[in-house]
Amino acid sequence: MIIVTGGAGFIGSNLVAGLEQAIGGDLVVVDRLGTDEKWRNIAKRDLAALVPPEDIFEFLDDHRGDVRAIFHMGAISSTTERDADLIVRENITLPLKLWHWCAENRTRLIYASSAATYGDGEAGFDDDDSPQGLAGLRPMNAYGWSKHAFDRRAVRLAASGVHPPQWVGLKFFNVYGPNEYHKGSMKSVVAQITPKIAAGETAKLFTSHHPDYADGGQLRDFVYVDDCVRVMLWLLEADQVNGIYNLGTGAARSFADLARAVFAALGQEERIEYIAMPESIRDRYQYFTQARMDRLREAGFPEQFTSLEEGVRRYVKGFLTAPYPYR
């Protein structure tokens, strides 16, 4: 049995689809579906169980010894969430309890960290998971801080000998791809601008308020969700790998490049308009992210990552413009 928390969410549902195709077997999703269309993210899956998050530990205790691995993708993932107590409960307290359950029951744990732990990037994007390396990072929002706090606790617990037989934290960079439609304003820019471009509108991107970056020249490490799934499936086989690792492509690209890729995928001429960045985010806006991928390579991950142009093409043609856009 493999359990995916947040398994009806964006990355989680893509992982469940990948697990179903690669290994089959008993797959369990722990998540809330709510009242929107999020259920469609798992509508094609043949699940052994769908468990409400509040029942996870009762379920785990009932299936003690049956669980091969837990992928903990569930979290409060909004970078604009203001309820810090909620973030602590969901992003620190709950995963710590899950960590201890996995340690006691010798169950492998792979969990979602975030590139938001790097803050404005002044300290770089090196996934040094030593206590000293982590201590220098300064996240800019409560979400990033919560992920960073758990990473630091995981490293301390691992050093003390209290840890699952395999534990891996993945610092996801700017992930895009199918099944993110329920995320509202937190959807990727690809998902936000494709319907507008397809309808004949311009692509609207933020102006820059940094002298080193042109309008639309803000840089991100955009990674296609299929690549994230391939890494996690590889980790399931590479049970000797432990630690915290970046998960991006290692190549920073601009938002203007991303918009051009969407126009190309739709076979349209480029039409980009620059609009003022909201003042509410100007003082905590990241102008550059780029994952250092050396450690994941050194750990043995052999595959190449999808280029921005190819990832956008697959997403736009295979999902965003398809009659049924869900995986």
From the number of C-beta atoms within 10 Å of its C-beta (0-12, 13-18, 19+), residue 154 rates as: buried
Query: CA nearest 171: which of 148, 154, 188?
Result: 148
Q: Please say if 143 is a catalytic residue.
A: yes
Q: Which two tokens stand for residue 6?
A: 């947040």
Find tokens 């052994």 and name the residue: 48
Q: Please say if 183 is a catalytic residue.
A: yes
Helix (H) or strand (E) holding 17: helix 10-22
- Apex 164 CA angle, 107 and 5, nearest 5: 60
Q: Which residues pair with 223 in a beta bridge?
A: 175
User: CA-to-CA distance for 71 and 4, rounded, in angstroms?
Assistant: 5
Kindly report the number of other CB atoms within 10 A of residue 233's CB atom: 16
Distances in Å between the Cα of 178 and the Cα atoms of 40, 182, 244 are: 11, 11, 25
Query: CA nearest 190: which of 91, 306, 82?
Result: 306
User: CA-to-CA distance for 256 and 122, rounded, in angstroms?
Assistant: 23
Query: CA nearest 243: which of 93, 130, 126, 95?
Result: 130
User: CA-to-CA distance for 62 and 58, rounded, in angstroms?
Assistant: 6
Q: Contact at 8 Å (CB) between 249 and 291?
A: yes
Catalytic choice (38, 111, 118, 143): 143
Q: Could you give the residue numbers annotated as active site? A: 143, 183
